[in-house]
């Protein structure tokens, strides 16, 4: 999302319908056909966004995880936006199913790229190797820290043969094995995104290969090796257990990417109806700073949020500036929540 000098704030959802945790009827996994039907039925036409957003730019996104884990009961429904930071939140709150929205169809393609990589990679070492088309320098223990893991890849050069092999394997897995109906443009976008990771390596950041480069954003390596304010690293690549939780959901088709505008006519409402039909409710909604872009669509966005069923303890995760200047432009959004500060 938009680059801001900021950190995250967690807030209770106060305006949506809330419900206690009940026995839902969500499936334990989706077939490939069921997964693709959810993707296509819930998605809207792709829209525009002024930034490439290959990777998160929110350096302090882990700061809220201790509070999330304290307040959120595993087994709920996670909603999110943008790329890989969702995997870290998913590993932390351990939902039963996750839906990730983004106005750009390219983000859906990137999340499908990630899905294929998770499925193809039985452990973190193979995942990082395939993601950046690099082979590690030396043997890496399954108990290695994220820093040790990424140090093994930091100074090695990309391998064109590994890049081509992985790219073809991802396409084969998604199109031939899963039989997802990706278009020729989708596959071109996947190659475009994957090549950015190949060329950028673990040091790539939000501004890499972007029309709006910025030197003040964290690298992929920093996002994976960073910590919360208490010094704990909860990134999805920080431990094998976290990685395996996300991988298991991917293998069961339980992380569903959706093309949708937060103020759009279908995506969020369709997910809301689906959850209600299955007696399920949202426990966490990571919205980054999408609200900054919804000035003309605020009423539609609010209507979409109100269409979602939420647990009583449900939480928004927002990306907030250190100053309240941005927030004053957003109607009906309180500057401060009771008991909370920046």
DSSP assignment of 242-268 equals HHHHHHHHHHTT-EEEEE--TTSSSHH
Q: How many structural domains compose the chain? A: 1
pLDDT at 9: 43
Contact call for residues 80 and 60 (beta carbons, < 8 A): no
pLDDT at 220: 95
The answer to whether residue 340 scores a pLDDT higher than 60 is no
Domain span including residue 120? 6-18+43-95+113-261+281-295+306-329
> If you average pLDDT over residues 138-147, what whole number do you get?
96
Domain membership flag for residue 223: yes
pLDDT at 208: 81
The values of phi and psi at residue 7, to 5°, are: -140, 180
How many CB atoms are located within 10 Å of the residue 332 CB? 8
Domain membership flag for residue 54: yes
The band of 60, judged by pLDDT with boundaries at 50, 70 and 90, is confident
> If you average pLDDT over residues 250-276, what whole number do you get?
98
pLDDT at 329: 61
pLDDT at 3: 38
More confident residue, 218 or 308: 308
How far out from the chain centre does Cα 23 lie?
A: 26
The band of 13, judged by pLDDT with boundaries at 50, 70 and 90, is very low
> If you average pLDDT over residues 299-328, what whole number do you get?
83
Domain membership flag for residue 273: no
Domain membership flag for residue 310: yes
221: enclosing H helix or E strand: helix 220-225
pLDDT at 91: 98
User: pTM for the complete prediction?
Assistant: 0.90
- The proportion of the chain whose per-residue pLDDT surpasses 70, expressed as a percent, equals 85
Residues 6+ positions from 189 with CB-CB distance below 8 Å: 105, 106, 109
The answer to whether residue 79 scores a pLDDT higher than 50 is yes
- The proportion of the chain whose per-residue pLDDT surpasses 90, expressed as a percent, equals 75
Residue 275: both structure tokens together:
């959850």
pLDDT at 10: 44
The answer to whether residue 209 scores a pLDDT higher than 50 is yes
Domain membership flag for residue 191: yes
pLDDT at 12: 40
**Mean predicted lDDT score pLDDT of the chain:** 89
Domain membership flag for residue 101: no
Contact call for residues 158 and 132 (beta carbons, < 8 A): yes
Domain membership flag for residue 210: yes
Residue 74: both structure tokens together:
């595993």
Residues 6+ positions from 188 with CB-CB distance below 8 Å: none
pLDDT at 18: 64
Contact call for residues 136 and 124 (beta carbons, < 8 A): no
pLDDT at 333: 57
Domain membership flag for residue 342: no
């Amino acid at each position: 999302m938009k680059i801001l000098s900021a950190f995250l704030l967690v807030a209770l959802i106060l305006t949506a319908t809330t419900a206690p945790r009940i026995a839902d009827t969500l499936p334990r996994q989706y077939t490939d056909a069921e997964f693709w039907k959810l993707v296509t039925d819930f998605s809207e036409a792709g829209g525009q966004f002024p930034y490439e957003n290959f990777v998160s730019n929110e350096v302090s996104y882990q700061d809220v995880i201790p509070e999330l884990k304290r307040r959120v009961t595993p087994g709920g429904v996670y909603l999110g936006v943008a790329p890989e930071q969702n995997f870290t939140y998913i590993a932390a709150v351990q939902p039963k199913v996750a839906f990730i929205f983004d106005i750009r169809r390219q983000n859906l393609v990137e999340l499908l790229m990630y899905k294929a990589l998770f499925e193809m990679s039985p452990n973190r070492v193979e995942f990082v190797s395939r993601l950046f088309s690099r082979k590690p320098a030396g043997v890496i223990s399954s108990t290695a820290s994220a820093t040790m893991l990424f140090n093994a890849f930091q100074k090695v050069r990309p391998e064109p043969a590994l890049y081509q092999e992985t790219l073809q394997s991802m396409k084969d897995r998604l199109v031939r094995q899963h039989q997802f109906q990706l278009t020729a443009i989708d596959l071109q976008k996947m190659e475009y995104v994957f090549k950015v990771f190949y060329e950028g390596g673990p040091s790539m950041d939000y501004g890499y290969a972007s029309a709006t480069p910025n030197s003040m954003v964290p690298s992929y390596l920093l996002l994976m090796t960073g910590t919360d304010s208490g010094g704990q690293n909860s990134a999805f690549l920080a431990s094998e257990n976290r990685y395996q939780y996300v991988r298991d959901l991917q293998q069961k088709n339980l992380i569903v990417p959706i093309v949708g505008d937060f103020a759009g006519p279908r995506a969020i409402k369709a997910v809301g109806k689906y959850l209600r039909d299955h007696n399920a409710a949202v426990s966490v909604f990571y919205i980054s700073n999408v609200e900054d872009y919804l000035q003309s669509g605020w009423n539609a966005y609010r209507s979409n949020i109100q269409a979602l069923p939420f647990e009583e303890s449900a939480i928004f995760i927002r990306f907030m500036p250190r100053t309240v200047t941005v927030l004053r432009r957003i109607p009906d959004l309180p500057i401060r929540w009771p008991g909370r500060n920046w």
